[in-house]
Structure 1
Amino acid sequence: MPLVQIAGLPIDLVRQRMRSLRLTVYAGGRIRVSVPLQTPVATIEAFVQARRGWIEQQQQRFAAREPAPQLRYESGETVPYLGQDYELLVSPAAGRAGVLLRPESRQLRLSVPAGSTAAQREALLTAWYRQQIKQLLPALFAQWEPVVGRAAADWGVKQMRTRWGTCNIGARRVWLNLELIKRPLPCLEYVLVHELTHLHERLHNARFWGLMDQFMPDWRTHRAELNRVLLAPTAAPDAD
């Protein structure tokens, strides 16, 4: 979709059936404005102009983020786990492939068949990450659901390119991004609480953030840490 100039800024303008105007800034600085079908251009201009300072702030935040490293999953590289960096050791295995975490030496060993590809080593580590986060989450839900006063009917883990978490309010189903297993544990807790709070309030409005202050007073610190690393080239900030 071609960009249009609005308030002196290149904007990805989308007209669709909706009730209010919505503004999103993506990594790389792209700006998207979604508006109801018949919204006058003057109204859109005023809307963007009033939020120009916020737009620039978000663009600066994205520019300051650290890009995710490109790995070949070879010995000597560094891989993250719960906010800590571990030296990756790749060793040939005659039998079953596996992953061994060595916290005392800050090493993570991949035992893989000789001649394994980078994609195969990545798949092995990803499966291990998934296993670890799924082991952590039951206790975290049990800890935080009484604090929030809402319980998820179901939850799951999946790889998401643009969100740290989502909540299907009707089904009371929470999805958490597998990438959270790489970030410090309080970041995972922040997203979990964030999504559970949506079972009180659908929107990111004053009531929602007031509830977050009540349930997790230091949530801003965890969100800042979470957003320090770029999730994906097109990611928008924060959880959903």
Structure 2
Amino acid sequence: MEIAGLEIDLVRQRMRSLRLTVYAGGRIRVAVPLHTPAAAIEAFVQARRSWIVQHQQRFAARQPAAPAPRYETGETVPFLGQPYTLAVHPAARPWVELRPDTQQLWLYAPANSTAAQREAVLTAWYRQQLKQRLPELLAKWEPVVGRSAAAWGIKQMRTRWGTCNIGAARIWLNLELIKRPLPCLEYVLVHELTHLHERLHNARFWGLMDEFMPDWRLHREELKRVLLAPTATPDAD
């Protein structure tokens, strides 16, 4: 439907507040509580019209997605914000070896392995690397934020860098963060921990972020340049 001169996908569902999402490609989705009046929805969209247009223009300016990797020797793969040249070696036991001195990442896999199998080997290594780093990062940032996660997990997410289940004090981090610079990973971690103070992305939330991590905007902008998926929204939740 058209609202405030914009084509909007309107979704009514059981929720407490209105939510706006702009997807890559320019699609706009507005989710609202079941009985929200049409006038309130139009006012909500109109008040954010310039923000919507700005994000549509940003998505339109992005470069087309790169071809799907084959995980073959010579390709470039990222790790903690640095590019590494992939070197694939035949081996009966799949494993990965990082060689910072030559800026290479050696991937061992059976000689007849497929691209999907080599990707699975690298993905398992990425997960292990992120899992190893999180306890130390939590020990660093939980005292700063003044809240602790009761549990945490890692998963591949197509639309978010991180999420927080406030009731369970459980945070989830996107596996893709291991490819980004370490400060970006720390930003998302602090972001999710801050939700244990404040559920909403309101003035109080961003004020707390300023207190805990004054340069958080730099790291968020870095992540905004990354397109997670064709329908991704470039932020933590």
Match of 1:28 in 2: 25
Higher mean alpha-carbon deviation, 27-36 vs 40-49, is at 40-49
- Per-residue CA deviations over 1:166-223 (Å, capped at 9, x if unaligned) read 1111111111110000000000000000000001001100000000000000000001
Choose 208-217 or 34-43, whichever is displaced more: 34-43
Matches within 5 A, 1:67-82: 67=65, 70-82=68-80
Describe the SS at the equivalent of 1:176. Answer: strand
Task: Classify 1:19/1:98 alpha carbon distance in 2 versus 1 (closer, same or farther; 3 Å).
Answer: closer
1:94-130: CA deviation from partner (whole Å, max 9, x where unpaired) = x312111111111111111111000000000000000
Provide the TM-score with structure 1 as the length reference. Answer: 0.94
Partner of 1:217: 214
Unaligned runs of 5+ in 1: none
Q: How many Å separate the matches in 2 of 1:134 and 1:17?
A: 35
Aligned to 2:122: 125
1:65-108 deviations in whole A, cap 9, x for unaligned?
45365201011111000000111111111x31211111111111
Partner amino acid for 2:18? Answer: L
The TM-score, its normalising length taken from structure 2, stands at 0.95
| Match of residue 41 from structure 2 | 44
* Paired amino acid for 1:92: P
- Of 227-236 and 128-137, the range deviating more from structure 2: 227-236
Q: Contact between 1:158 and 1:178, CA under 8 Å: does it hold in 2?
A: yes
CA contact (8 A) 1:172 1:199 kept: yes
Which residue in 2 is equivalent to 1:16? 13
Q: CA shift at 1:38, angstroms?
A: 3.0
**Letter of the 1:88 counterpart:** L
- Which digits, 9 at most, give the CA deviation of each residue in 1:23-55, with x for residues without a partner? 111111110112233333333223222211000
Give the conservation status (yes or no) of the 8 Å contact 1:68–1:230: no
Percent identity (aligned): 80
Match of 2:156 in 1: 159
| Maintained 8 Å contact 2:223/2:234 | no
- The one of the two structures with greater contact order (alpha-carbon pairs below 8 A, sep at least 6) is 1
Aligned amino acid, residue 90 of structure 1: V
Give distance in 1, aligned partners of 2:117 and 2:229: 22
Q: Deviations over 1:108-164 (max 9, x none)?
A: 111111110000000000000001011111100000000000011111111111110
What residue number does 1:60 align with? 57
Cα RMSD for the two superposed structures? 1.4
My pick for the range that moved more, 207-216 or 167-176, is 167-176
CA contact (8 A) 2:12 2:33 kept: yes
Whether contact under 8 Å (2:226, 2:234) holds in the other structure is no
Which residue of 223, 226, 230 maps to 1:226? Answer: 223
- 1:140 paired to 2:137: yes
The 5-angstrom pairing of residues 80-119 of structure 1 reads 80-93=78-91, 95-119=92-116
Query: How many residue pairs get matched?
Result: 236
Q: Which amino acid aligns with 1:73?
A: Y
